[in-house]
């Protein structure tokens, strides 16, 4: 799913849902060609994402799933 957000010449913010990337890109292009619109943004969401959204942290050397965090940055 793709969503296109923009603000029109009256300061009203609107959004449109588009099912395909091609349709969303064409809508975004059309809105950008109209100089009365501003703050035009297209965003997407991956519906197949199985992980938790956001950033997980390492606490006491453990990952959120309980495994040990062993990665080390090597400098040359």
Q: What pLDDT, on the 0 to 100 scale, is given for residue 64?
A: 80
* 57 half-sphere exposure, CB direction, 13 A CA radius: 2
Using only C-alpha atoms, the chain has a radius of gyration, in whole angstroms, of 20
Q: What is the value of pTM for the model shown?
A: 0.55
Q: How far apart are CA 44 and CA 1, in angstroms?
A: 6
Q: What is the pLDDT of residues 8-63, one digit of tens each?
A: 888 887 887 877 888 888 888 998 898 888 888 888 877 777 766 665 778 888 88
Alpha helices in 19-67 (DSSP H): 21-33
**70 pLDDT band (50/70/90 cuts)?**
confident
């Amino acid at each position: 799913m793709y969503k296109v957000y923009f603000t029109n010449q009256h300061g009203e913010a609107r959004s449109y849902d588009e099912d395909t990337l091609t349709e969303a890109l064409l809508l975004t292009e059309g809105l950008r060609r109209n100089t009365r619109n501003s703050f035009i943004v297209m965003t997407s969401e991956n519906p197949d994402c199985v992980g938790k959204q956001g950033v997980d942290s390492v606490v006491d050397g453990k990952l959120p799933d309980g495994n040990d965090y062993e990665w080390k940055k090597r400098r040359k």
